[in-house]
Chain A
Amino acid sequence: MGTKASRAVTRRDLLKMTAAGIAVAGVASVGLPVVAQERKRIAIAHPDRAADYFQGFMNSALAEADKRGYEVLQSFSGMDPQKQLAEVNTWLAQGFDALIVLSLDANAMAPIVAKVHEQNALFVSYANRIEGEDGFIKWADREAGALLGAYTAKHIKEKLGGSAEVGFLTATNIQVVTDRIESTREAILAELPETKFFEATALSAPDALKATQSLLQAHPEMKIVICCTDDGALGARSAYQNSGLGPDNVLIAGFDGAKQNLELVKARDPYLQVSMALDIGAIGRRVIDIPYQLWNGGPESETHVLQDYTLVSHETDEADIDVILSVYS
């Protein structure tokens, strides 16, 4: 009996303590934002934390935020559009001054834009355009495609006698990806209208490996593979390496400027010769700078940013590649 009673008391005490804890937390949650209001809060919804450029990007953004005296909220939602929406709504409840979002479902963003504006905060879209945005940072995908297409055409003329079969590894439902691939195709066709193209779906290295294996079976003369991502380019490279075909004048190109790809280009890999690189450090700084410019009446060129790609190839100096690589160290 004695133990039972004392246990009950303990449990009741615990309950009391829990209630007290909840009360304290409630007071704190009401009280703390008042303190925090003095620093502006920027929420960055970049869900792809597994991307190899992510740390470089985030370090650069945090450094810039420190400089400006802003507080940064980071995303942990992962690549699920539903979770991203839930996370943004949580942030909305907490309150923030600017939202930078790589939206996984652009169509679902309209209500978020409205809610952000209701709170007198800024909506900045990242990597694509959202209606009602206050500013954006987006990659110059079509311009990059034009650059890569011209480079490829030059490769075909100089190394392959002016005619070639080109394989594209793409995805049909992502705007960034189709922009990259379509503009490359147009640029090649502009110079070499006779070029033959083949397409397969692949974003990741394992998928690109399989797709390139299949393409090579059907078209053993195919010397050029353009991948919509650098990860895919790595898969295509594995397929060539293990196909038994020699590297003679093969050109594999990808987009993003991933670490492993840049190092392969720097080492003058006979297969993987091009990566369309973005300056990750600059993007990280921009993400903080765009809200700063908007709050301080900066010009539109500083708030509506089209970030250029750098074509990194065997013609690029090793020292220049090292500069781009420095963001990964």
Chain B
Amino acid sequence: MTRQQILTWIQRNGLFFALVLLVAIFSFASSRFLTLPNVTVILLQNAVIGLIVVPGAMLILCGLVDLSVGSVAVLAAVVFGQAMENGLGLPASLLFGLGVGMLWGAFNGYLIAINGFSPIIITLGGLAGARGLAEFITQGYTTYGYGPEFAFLGNGKLLGVPVPILLFLLVLAVGLHFWYRAPLGRHMIAIGGAKDTAAELGIPVKLVPFWLYVASGVASALGGLIVASQLDGAAVTIGTGMELEVLTAILLGGVSFTGGRGSLFGVFFGLLFVGVLSNGLIQINVSPYVEQVAIGAALCGAAALDMLYQRLERLQVPIDKEPIEPVTQGAGGGQ
């Protein structure tokens, strides 16, 4: 193998092997780590972030970003709580909660995808605005106690698997299909990597991101409702720092922040990597400081690999001669 091929291989599979190594270390340190109940807990702990990560990664692939996810999550939970408090009943309250997420997503999409506003500014505004609105609605008084039917969303099990995990796996499966098996995946890469070209070829360069923002809003709202169900209360602390957790998983998973490149499998491994790290460090009872430092180090490592990879891509485009040995790659990492 040439040096280039080795580096490409590391970039494409490095995170997976880092994850395996991490699991091996924790399994060695604690006999309770690699057990079915703990694996279930790890998935459960990351199911909510995972739901939101799928549309989030698609937005970043398109060269966009949604920083308002955590605030939309708490707004949806609070609106749901108020609707329940006012006796609207469970189905209507759920619709209100999800509807708020959808509307906020559509608002983001309309301004950013259709009208070309800066995604960072608009969703940063949402980050402050949606949470502010949630706090204004609650006026400091948290609603709680929604009954056993709603508790099923966060705490229930189907066939022995917790409902949030099932919802996450469902969203992930749909996401993987669209990413690798539907035209949408290629269109997103085109929009993120060469928007003018995509438009020239008749790809809906405005509608695709618009609907992705709507999906991101709905997923955030669903995530907020799941946490509210788990806590049986619409705490105003729901979704705090969620945007960073989502971004960490996506960027660790190797999706380029400038868009146009990335794999959803990588994002899944990035999500698991952070989840395994925080669970495992608690299991082996080390200082809470270590977790932050470890995640930071992992992100820096991913950034360095990303830069290396970009440099490689440039190296492969000699202006005047044939590439020495073209690297062949599949349409998607998971095929």
Contacts and interface: CB of A to CB of B under 8 A. Distances in A.
A is bound by B? yes
Interface of A: 49-55, 78, 170-172, 198-201, 203-207, 209-211, 213-215, 217-218, 231, 234-235, 238, 241-242, 259-260, 328
A199 B230 contact: no
Contact of B231 (A55, A201, A211, A235): A235
A1 to B, nearest CB: 35
Given A205-B233, A242-B230, A199 B288 contact: yes
B5 interface: no
Given A217-B37, A217-B41, A172 B288 contact: yes
Residue in B128, B230, B282 whose Cβ sees the most chain A Cβ within 10 Å: B282
Interface size class of B (residues with CB under 8 A): 35 or more
B232 A238 contact: yes
A225 to B, nearest CB: 13
A206 B235 contact: yes
Contacts of B282: 198, 200, 211, 214-215, 218
Contact of B140 (A51, A170, A210, A241): A51
B56 to A, nearest CB: 18
Residue in B35, B45, B237, B279 whose Cβ sees the most chain A Cβ within 10 Å: B237
Per CB-CB distance, the 9 closest pairs between chain A and chain B, nearest first, are A204-B237, A201-B288, A214-B282, A218-B283, A50-B135, A217-B38, A242-B155, A205-B235, A210-B45
B278 interface: yes
B279 A214 contact: yes
Interface in B249-308: 278-279, 282-285, 287-289, 291
Contacts of A200: 282, 288
A260 B237 contact: no
Contacts of B279: 214, 217
Nearest to B238: A206
B107 interface: no
B140 A55 contact: yes
Contacts of A78: 128, 132
Contacts of B141: 52, 55, 259, 328
A55 B139 contact: yes
B240 interface: yes
30 contacts: A50-B140, A52-B142, A53-B140, A54-B140, A55-B139, A172-B288, A204-B235, A204-B238, A205-B235, A205-B237, A205-B238, A206-B227, A206-B230, A206-B237, A206-B240, A210-B278, A213-B45, A217-B41, A217-B279, A217-B283, A218-B282, A231-B237, A234-B231, A238-B155, A238-B230, A238-B231, A238-B232, A242-B230, A259-B141, A259-B142
